Amino acid sequence: MAVSANRINITGLARKLVQDGLLEEAAAQDHFQKALQKKQAFVSYLVEDKLASSAAIALSASQEFGVPLLDIGSLELDLDVVKSIKPDLIKKHSALPIFRRGKRLYLALSDPTNLQALDEIKFAAGANTEAVLVEEDKLAKTIEKTLEEMDGGLGKEMEGEDLEDLDGLETAAEEPQPGAAGDAEVDDAPVVRFVNKVLLDAIKKGASDLHFEPYEKFYRVRFRIDGILQEVAKPPLSLASKIAARIKVMSRLDVSERRVPQDGRIKLKLSKTKSIDFRVNTCPTLFGEKAVMRILNSDAAALQIDMLGYEDHQKEMFLKNLQKPYGMFLVTGPTGSGKTVSLYSGIAILNTIDVNISTAEDPVEINLPGVNQVQVDEKTGMTFEKALKAFLRQDPDIILVGEIRDLGTASIAVKAAQTGHMVMSTLHTNDCPQTLTRLQDMGVAPFAVATSINLITAQRLCRRLHKEYREVMEMDKESLLKEGFPAELVEKGITLFKPIEGREDCPSGYKGRCGIYQVMAISDAMKRLIIEGANAVQLGDQARKEGIWDLRRSGLQKAADGVTTLEEVNDSTVE
């Protein structure tokens, strides 16, 4: 119903919203007056208080005043155009210069009737101004982000932090290698504080990896939290080289070398008694150097076997074979699946006063007192193979090899296991049966594989459901059987859960990760199959006959126990 302007005394846009049924007449009058009292733009007031949709307001205004409607989120802004207007003026009118054509400057506005903004910016810019309509909420976010970039881009990231603490944060090494870049690159105080804050945030949020990534038109920082990469900051692209230089200084890398990958390490001192290590790798990409850091959490060494997530029968098999005086104990799985933690949980059990334990790792991720740890370094010639040869002359009881990568390392490890030593190591294979065939593919004789290996553990990590933020997920019996749940388990009754998303303290509904395992001891029957040249499929069939759970069966049990979700199991394992 049309309403006279005199009666409601509101602007043309407010009148249009009433006509379109987006607001009641009395409500429009009330909101308009309140916006005036608060000295706030009418559209901003409506959207902020969720009284009307910003998209609906923009569409209504575009139809009424014939102003083109633009999705500002899809527009690549030219900062030089934005900088032609002072930030105070942009904030005052919520008007953002988006592009210039000759002497005409186009302004993004959420209210095309804001003639004051058009006039004031016209005078300040010395150019004719023309309105382009955008949604209020998107405009507010874009203005905030753009002004932040104009201000150096680190303002928001540094909010709520004690800047003195960030300046004084210590690392074990602050001196760059020969060939350092100029002071402007490595000593920029805001960049130093920003990098320090990112490292601290990663520790607080429980991240496992940090990615510093330059692209053609933007730069971003991402954390891997509970196995999922999340964007946490987007500093200006202009700071890419300075951030890379700062990370290299902290890692004792050659700052001037930008053409080849480099590996380093950072020890961040959080207090007099606590420090955190980061493994650092830089790699030249098309648009600059990408840096990735892995947080090496020494606290993981304190993990007990009960905390890793093995099923009872798997833990029993794990501990039984761990106590054997000789033979190979292998852990397999993809990068980041927790292999090192599993090995060190075993080492922690075996680490007694009467045992000599030596490890060769690249890098040494967990420092454990009482264990002789060697850092493998290809540059100096200290390879896994050389370390193993040295260990065998050092009266060892237990040898841990970080990874079996080649035939030389595999051969020495097998011989050590056959001559009275316990050898623990990792490989990158999908499951336990494939580990047996992988060693043979490297060139290890089937007889040597069969007689040296005691136990293989394959593992994956999946996200753990937050106990308070989960709800029942309904599935019928037929669907459960199709997913692979055992019939006897389905008959007893299974309750599956899904996460409740959107909570402020746990947005995803997941918190932490849990392990999914396949634990396979090498039986006499399996040894015969290995010697006869059986493939991974045949070995897998034999394992099932012996009651060995594969990774999927273990994952389904975790879902049935309410520890994780079926979706996570499907993402982590293969049917």
pLDDT digits (tens, 9 = 90+) for 466-505: 988 899 998 888 999 999 899 998 888 899 999 998 887 8
Q: How confident is the model at residue 376 (pLDDT cuts 50, 70, 90)?
A: confident
Decide if pLDDT at 210 tops 90.
yes
Q: What average pLDDT score do residues 311-322 get?
A: 93
CB 509 within 8 A of CB 503: yes
Tell me how far apart the alpha carbons of residues 571 and 461 are, in angstroms, rounded to a whole number.
10
Could you tell me the two tokens for 379? 């540059």
- 50-78 confidence digits (pLDDT tens): 777 777 777 877 777 777 888 887 777 77
Q: What percent of the chain has pLDDT over 90?
A: 38
Decide if pLDDT at 179 tops 90.
no
- 229-241 confidence digits (pLDDT tens): 999 998 888 889 9
Tell me how far apart the alpha carbons of residues 352 and 346 are, in angstroms, rounded to a whole number.
12
Tell me how far apart the alpha carbons of residues 389 and 374 are, in angstroms, rounded to a whole number.
13
Helix ranges, 154-205 (H): 163-168, 183-186, 189-204
Inter-CA distances, 303 with 45, 80, 300, 464, 519, Å: 53, 54, 5, 17, 19
Tell me how far apart the alpha carbons of residues 550 and 548 are, in angstroms, rounded to a whole number.
6
| pLDDT value of residue 187 | 55
CB 462 within 8 A of CB 559: no
Tell me how far apart the alpha carbons of residues 555 and 565 are, in angstroms, rounded to a whole number.
9
Q: Are strands 228-233 and 219-225 parallel, antiparallel or unpaired?
A: antiparallel
- 410-458 confidence digits (pLDDT tens): 999 999 999 889 999 999 999 999 999 999 999 999 999 999 999 999 9
Could you tell me the two tokens for 138? 């998107």
Q: What percent of the chain has pLDDT over 70?
A: 87
- 240-280 confidence digits (pLDDT tens): 999 999 999 999 999 988 999 998 888 888 777 777 889 89
474 φ/ψ angles, rounded to the nearest 5 degrees: -80, 130
Query: Higher pLDDT residue, 38 or 73?
Result: 73
Q: Which of 66-80, 168-182, 204-218, 336-350 has the lowest mean pLDDT?
A: 168-182
Decide if pLDDT at 7 tops 70.
no
DSSP 477-509: HHHHHHHT--HHHHHH---EEEE---BTTBTTS
| pLDDT value of residue 299 | 56
Q: Which of 60-64, 296-300, 375-379, 489-493 has the lowest mean pLDDT?
A: 296-300
Q: What average pLDDT score do residues 171-188 get?
A: 50
CATH code of 157-295, in short, is 3.30.450.90
3 class by beta-carbon count within 10 Å (0-12 exposed, 13-18 middle, 19+ buried): middle
CATH topology of domain 300-462+515-550: Rossmann fold (3.40.50)
Decide if pLDDT at 396 tops 50.
yes
Residue 200: how many other CB atoms lie within 10 Å: 17
Instruction: Examine domains 157-295 and 300-462+515-550 and report if their fold is the same.
Output: no
Cis peptide before 363 (omega within 30 of 0): yes
Query: Higher pLDDT residue, 556 or 112?
Result: 556
Selected from 3.90.850.10, 3.30.300.160, 3.40.50.150, 3.40.225.10, the CATH number assigned to the domain covering 5-150 reads: 3.30.300.160
Q: How confident is the model at residue 174 (pLDDT cuts 50, 70, 90)?
A: very low
Q: What average pLDDT score do residues 547-556 get?
A: 94
Tell me how far apart the alpha carbons of residues 555 and 287 are, in angstroms, rounded to a whole number.
41
Tell me how far apart the alpha carbons of residues 326 and 472 are, in angstroms, rounded to a whole number.
47
| pLDDT value of residue 86 | 83
Inter-CA distances, 127 with 107, 115, 120, Å: 11, 15, 11
| pLDDT value of residue 226 | 87
- 504-531 confidence digits (pLDDT tens): 788 889 988 889 999 999 999 999 999 9
- 153-166 confidence digits (pLDDT tens): 555 554 544 444 55
Could you tell me which residues are beta bridge partners of residue 399? 358, 423
With tokens 């992988």, the residue in question is 438
| pLDDT value of residue 438 | 94
Q: How confident is the model at residue 10 (pLDDT cuts 50, 70, 90)?
A: low
Tell me how far apart the alpha carbons of residues 288 and 303 are, in angstroms, rounded to a whole number.
39
| pLDDT value of residue 151 | 55
Boundaries of every domain in the chain: 5-150, 157-295, 300-462+515-550
Residue 511: how many other CB atoms lie within 10 Å: 18
Decide if pLDDT at 399 tops 50.
yes
Could you tell me which residues are beta bridge partners of residue 515? 461
What is the pLDDT of the chain when averaged over all its residues?
83
Cα 269-270-275 angle, rounded to 5 deg: 55
Q: Which of 109-113, 389-393, 464-468 has the lowest mean pLDDT?
A: 109-113
Q: How confident is the model at residue 571 (pLDDT cuts 50, 70, 90)?
A: confident
